[in-house]
Structure 1
């Protein structure tokens, strides 16, 4: 929602200032300039970006505009779920975790925390972290390196849409100049039609320059920044999970393992130590 409010402020400030200076918004609406700038930008994106990244850009932009970044409640759910899983493994043996890890969608523990269950990537990362522990295929002190490698791959993958959007944002001012030059060429071909026609065509050409800069710095680059911020929030979730699972695999008590994870969180979403301890009290005991 904030991104829509910000977009409204950008429009209001631009159009409002222009009108206050005596301009009429209608003179900014030249369809030919929109076709040139947006068309070239779309073509550049198609040339430079694989299709799966283009699809991810659409998904990320939708998430930036209408999605919700994980807050304290979501991190509480992650920590409480991990605590319950760890307590189950400590009380009944690691083999008791198999039913929850093999099919988390049918797990009674996962079903208690829909924010994790309904987020495929978080759910998968927890499962992938616990499977080697259950199978005994990896030494406990090697698990953190394994999960860190997976996190690094995720981080690189998340940056692909951001890089593509920034490339378009950085290109738009130059694309606006292309539109302006085309407009000047069109103007020169109509110079014999008189000052009024020439003035209108020059205004249209200048609109192209303005539109390229306006789209780049008013929308595309700021949205890319928001996508990067959302990616950082998602990485914080994965990092929290990694610290907890790796700590448990090394033999830390369940409460200590999630305390390590809690301390890895940003202060804006970090539960207090006493708050977390009170929240998990009674969990994982069959109550």
Structure 2
């Protein structure tokens, strides 16, 4: 919602200020279709050249995140800590029983209590793979931490590709605007024998290309790119929390200590309060 408000502000204040200063929209409206065809077409073509089909689909799926915000909400972090608590507690009490849950999480009663987490394949795989590795005596906390860190880094790099791809387009738009403006100047030079009022309109139309390139870059595409990168960073904290708690578990800390380590490492605006988490854990124990 805030993103939509921002876009409205950009358009209203830029064009509203232009008209308030006495500018006329007729030249911009007349030149807009042609300039947008050149600039937008070149930007889309360059985007298609620079990305594979799977990367293009990833970008198109991700654009909505700039307006929806992070996938993981504060309640999801609390649920994740409760899920990890239940799995670690079971693993210490009955390692054989734990195997049933990590080998087939889709049928697990523990995972079923947290459908949003169960629906995320990477989160489930990260939990199950780490717990499975521990059950296979691959339990050196430092080794596991290095493996998880490398995996999380690769996941974050993949998640931030839409941001990087759109930023590349944003960087190119001002130059593409200049290309469109130069073509407009060439067109104007072909009409050099026309009266000043005609030449003025042609030059104004050419300058619309430069304006559109800069405006789209810094007023629209660039900010969306930055927002997508921020959302990817925020969502990555969810997976980092899994790493923090499960590595603490490998250090053989008490289960409650492992959960508190995770809570303390949760970003402030997502972190559940101690009492809220304690109540959720008590409900989990009762269940």
Under TM normalisation by the shorter chain, which class is it?
over 0.9
8 Å CA contact 2:63, 2:228 repeated in 1: yes
Which of 84, 87, 90 is the equivalent residue of 2:86?
84
> What is the rounded CA distance, in whole Å, between the counterparts of 1:260 and 1:137 in structure 2?
22
> What is the rounded CA distance, in whole Å, between the counterparts of 1:231 and 1:238 in structure 2?
11
Stretch deviating more after TM superposition (125-134 or 28-37): 125-134
What residue number does 1:57 align with? 59
Q: CA deviation at 1:15?
A: 1.6
What residue number does 1:17 align with? 17
> What is the rounded CA distance, in whole Å, between the counterparts of 1:68 and 1:145 in structure 2?
26
The one-character-per-residue Cα deviations of 1:10-46 (angstroms, maximum 9, x if unpaired) are 1111121112122333432321100111111112212
What residue number does 2:225 align with? 224
SS at match of 2:284: coil
> What is the rounded CA distance, in whole Å, between the counterparts of 2:96 and 2:147 in structure 1?
21
Alignment TM-score, normalising by the size of structure 2: 0.93
What residue number does 2:8 align with? 8
8 Å CA contact 1:262, 1:270 repeated in 2: yes
8 Å CA contact 1:158, 1:231 repeated in 2: yes
SS at match of 2:64: helix
> What is the rounded CA distance, in whole Å, between the counterparts of 1:141 and 1:189 in structure 2?
71
> What is the rounded CA distance, in whole Å, between the counterparts of 1:180 and 1:231 in structure 2?
36
What residue number does 1:153 align with? 154
8 Å CA contact 1:180, 1:205 repeated in 2: yes
> What is the rounded CA distance, in whole Å, between the counterparts of 1:131 and 1:197 in structure 2?
75
What residue number does 1:33 align with? 35
Q: CA deviation at 1:68?
A: 4.3
Alignment TM-score, normalising by the size of structure 1: 0.93
8 Å CA contact 1:95, 1:134 repeated in 2: no
8 Å CA contact 2:70, 2:235 repeated in 1: no
Which of 45, 48, 51 is the equivalent residue of 2:50?
48
8 Å CA contact 1:133, 1:140 repeated in 2: no
Q: How many residues align?
A: 285
8 Å CA contact 2:102, 2:132 repeated in 1: yes
SS at match of 2:63: helix
> What is the rounded CA distance, in whole Å, between the counterparts of 1:70 and 1:27 in structure 2?
46
What residue number does 1:235 align with? 236
SS at match of 1:191: coil
> What is the rounded CA distance, in whole Å, between the counterparts of 1:20 and 1:111 in structure 2?
58
The one-character-per-residue Cα deviations of 1:42-74 (angstroms, maximum 9, x if unpaired) are 122122223322222112212222354422111
Provide closer, same or farther for how the CA distance between residues 203 and 125 of structure 1 changes in structure 2, counting only shifts above 3 A.
Answer: same
Which structure 2 residues correspond to residues 138-287 of structure 1 after superposition, within 5 A? 138-284=139-285, 287=287
Stretch deviating more after TM superposition (168-177 or 20-29): 20-29
Q: What RMSD, in angstroms, separates the aligned Cα atoms of the two structures?
A: 1.8
Q: CA deviation at 1:282?
A: 4.2
> What is the rounded CA distance, in whole Å, between the counterparts of 1:128 and 1:260 in structure 2?
20
SS at match of 2:130: helix
Q: CA deviation at 1:233?
A: 1.1
Unaligned runs of 5+ in 2: none
Stretch deviating more after TM superposition (116-125 or 233-242): 116-125
